[in-house]
Amino acid sequence: MNAVSSNPNASVTAFAGALTILVVWGVGVAGLTMPAEVASAFTTIVAALILWIGRIERGLLRKAASAPAPAATTPTS
């Protein structure tokens, strides 16, 4: 078992890092400058948002899975 499979948050952090590297690169291509501290803070914010959204999604899925099944009805004529 590796670190990523035993800790899914590592995958999220890696994804956030890759995503923000591309954003910072795009900012540089556009001719703007971004200090390293701002880029690092941006990466942290993106990772936190992805983890927060994932936590909400997991909560909704758990709630839906634990909800009782609807009762079967018989058609009446």
What is the residue-wise DSSP string for 11-22? Answer: HHHHHHHHHHHH
Flag whether 72 is in a domain: no
Euclidean distance between CA atoms 42 and 36, whole angstroms? 10
pTM of the model: 0.59
**Tally of domains within the chain:** 1
Flag whether 54 is in a domain: yes
Flag whether 73 is in a domain: no
Which band of pLDDT confidence, cut at 50, 70 and 90, is reported for residue 48? confident
Flag whether 51 is in a domain: yes
* Whole-number CA gyration radius for the chain: 21
Flag whether 77 is in a domain: no
pLDDT digits (tens, 9 = 90+) for 18-38: 999 999 999 999 999 999 999
Mean pLDDT of the residues in the chain: 79
Which band of pLDDT confidence, cut at 50, 70 and 90, is reported for residue 53? confident
Three-point CA angle 10, 62, 3, nearest 5°: 15
Flag whether 56 is in a domain: yes
